[in-house]
Chain A
Amino acid sequence: MKFVSFFCLLAALTVAAANAQVDFTGEWAPLYHEDGPERGPGPELGDYTEFPINDAARMRADSYDADRISVVQEYQCRPHGADYALRGLGQLRIWRDIDPATQRTTAFHLHFLAWDSERTIYLDDRPHPPDYALHTFQGFSTAVWEGNMLTVTTTNLKANYLRRNGLPRSDKAILTEHWTKHGDYLTITTVIEDPVFLTEPLVRSDNWYIDPGQHIGIFGCEYAAEVPKPEGAVPHHLPGANTNLREFANWYGLPFEATRGGAETLYPEYRSKITPYNPPAKCTRYCNCTSLFNCNVDSR
Chain B
Amino acid sequence: MKTLPALLLAASLYAQSGQNVAGTEVHVLPVQGNVFMLLGAGGNTTLQAGKDGALVVDTQFAELAPKIVAEIRKLTERPIIWMVNTHVHPDHTGGNEALSKPYGPGPGQTPRIIAHENVLNRMTQTGPNQPEIPAGMWPNDEYGTAQKDIFFNGEAVVIYHMPRAHTDGDSIVFFRKSDVVSTGDIFTPGTWPVIDLARGGSVQGTIDALNAILKLTVPARYQDGGTLVIPGHGRLCDESDVVEYRDMLTIVRDRVQDLIRKGMTLEQVKEARPARDYETEYTGVPGRWTRDQFIEAVFKSLSEARK
> Chain A: residues with CB nearer than 8 A to chain B?
54-60, 63, 68, 72, 74-75, 77-79, 115-118, 130-138, 158-159, 170-171, 195-197, 231-234, 236, 238-239
What's the nearest-Cβ distance from chain A to residue B301, in Å? 16
- Give the docked Cα–Cα distance between A136 and B238 (Å): 9
Q: Point out the residue from B222, B244, B255 that lies within 8 Å of A136, measured CB to CB.
A: B222
- Number of residue pairs spanning A and B whose beta carbons lie under 8 angstroms apart: 99
For B272, the closest partner residue in chain A by CB is A239
Instruction: Let me know if A54 and B280 touch, CB within 8 A.
Output: yes
Are B29's CB and A132's CB within 8 A? yes
Is A234 a contact of B224 with CB atoms below 8 Å?
Answer: no
Residues of B11-47 contacting chain A, CB below 8 A: 27, 29, 39
Task: Give the contacting residue for B251; candidates A115, A136, A197, A234; CB below 8 A.
Answer: A234
How many angstroms between the C-alpha atoms of A183 and B260 in the bound complex? 62
How far, in whole Å, are A59 and B280 apart by their CA atoms in the complex? 12
B residues 241-279 near A (Cβ < 8 Å) are 241, 243-244, 246-247, 250-251, 254-255, 258, 274, 276-279
Residues on the A chain within 8 Å of B27, using CB:
130, 132
Write the nearest CB–CB distance from A85 to chain B, whole angstroms: 11
What is the minimal beta-carbon distance from B180 to any residue of chain A, in angstroms?
A: 11
* A234 in contact with B247 given A56-B278, A56-B280 (CB within 8 Å): yes
User: Considering only CB atoms, which chain A residue lies closest to B251 in the complex?
Assistant: A236
Residues of A close to B241: CB separation below 8 A: 135, 158-159, 171
Answer yes or no: B281 CB below 8 A from chain A CBs.
yes
Which chain B residues in 90-143 approach chain A with CB under 8 Å? none
Task: Using CB atoms, name the residue of chain B closest to A156.
Answer: B235
Q: A284 → chain B, closest Cβ, in Å?
A: 33
Min CB gap B291→A, angstroms: 12
Q: Which listed residue, A55, A79, A134, A232, touches B236 by the CB 8 Å rule?
A: A134
Q: B236 touching A137 by the CB < 8 A rule?
A: no
Which residue of chain A lies nearest to B212 when distances are taken between CB atoms in the complex? A232
How far is the CB of B50 from the nearest CB of chain A, in Å?
22
Is A231 a contact of B211 with CB atoms below 8 Å?
yes
The answer to whether A56 and B250 have CB atoms under 8 Å apart is: no
Question: Are B281's CB and A170's CB within 8 A?
Answer: yes
Complex CA distance for A195 and B239, rounded to whole angstroms: 23
Q: Write out the residue numbers on chain A whose beta carbons fall within 8 Å of the beta carbon of B221.
A: 116
Q: Mark each residue of chain B from 182 to 225: 1 if its CB lies under 8 Å from any CB of chain A, else 0.
A: 00000000000000000000000001100100100001011111
In the assembled complex, the CB of B71 is this many whole angstroms from the nearest CB of chain A, namely: 14
Complex: how many Å from CA A60 to CA B247? Answer: 12
Report yes or no: A115 in contact with B276, Cβ–Cβ below 8 A. Answer: no
